[in-house]
């Protein structure tokens, strides 16, 4: 009988401790939402539109389309920045891509400016309309059509 009381008391004590621990841990917001808030505060003119299926759509006057893709279960990249602009990108577009990539991937703005500029300017007669390159541990893929130029920047999960 004494053994049953000690066991029951231990179970109640363990349940109480687990309850206190779960109440003491603060709720964490989604990492992607945190990055979107940093982007809205760190880049002038950038607005967060809405989130749908691990993609946060953003708007800015310098870009036709802008989105932040967040890692879902089983994907090989951590985050992805996608930006679409005019066929000949303007300096504000380069600045927007560099600023947002610097915040998302925690790389210096100078490095992201250099990488994005190299990727977007390599498209042409000699290299074609699709350029894939790697700069400062970031994968950059630039494509262009008759009217648009796009850049997608990702970082692999293991880096």
For 74-127, write each residue's pLDDT tens digit: 565 678 899 999 988 899 999 999 999 999 888 899 999 999 899 888 887 777
| pLDDT tens string 120-157 | 888 877 777 888 888 888 899 999 899 999 999 998 87
For residue 83, what pLDDT is reported? Answer: 92
Residue 21 resides in a domain: no
Q: What is the pLDDT of residue 94?
A: 92
Whose CA is closest to 149, among 113, 125, 122, 115?
Answer: 122
Indicate whether 16 belongs to any domain: no
Full domain range(s) for residue 133: 28-156
Separation in Å, CA 40 to CA 9, 28, 35, 99, 115 = 52, 19, 9, 11, 22
Dump pLDDT digits (tens) for 23-69: 554 544 567 778 888 888 888 888 888 888 788 899 999 889 999 88
Is the residue at 90 inside a domain? yes
Spatial CA neighbour of 101 closest among 124, 117, 121: 117
Any domain includes 57: yes
């Amino acid at each position: 009988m004494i053994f049953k009381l000690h066991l029951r008391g231990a179970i109640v004590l363990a349940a109480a401790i687990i309850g206190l621990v779960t109440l003491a841990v603060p709720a964490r917001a989604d990492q992607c939402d945190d990055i979107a808030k940093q982007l809205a505060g760190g880049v002038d003119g950038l607005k967060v539109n809405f989130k749908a299926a691990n993609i946060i759509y953003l708007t800015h006057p310098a870009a036709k389309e802008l989105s932040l893709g967040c890692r879902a279960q089983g994907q090989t990249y951590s985050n992805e920045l996608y930006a679409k602009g005019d066929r000949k990108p303007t300096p504000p577009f380069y600045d927007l891509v560099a600023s947002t990539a610097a915040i998302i991937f925690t790389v210096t703005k100078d490095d992201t400016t250099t990488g994005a500029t190299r990727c977007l300017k390599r498209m042409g007669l000699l290299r074609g309309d699709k350029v894939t390159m790697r700069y400062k541990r970031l994968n950059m893929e630039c494509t262009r059509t008759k009217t648009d130029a796009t850049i997608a920047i990702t970082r692999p999960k293991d880096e």
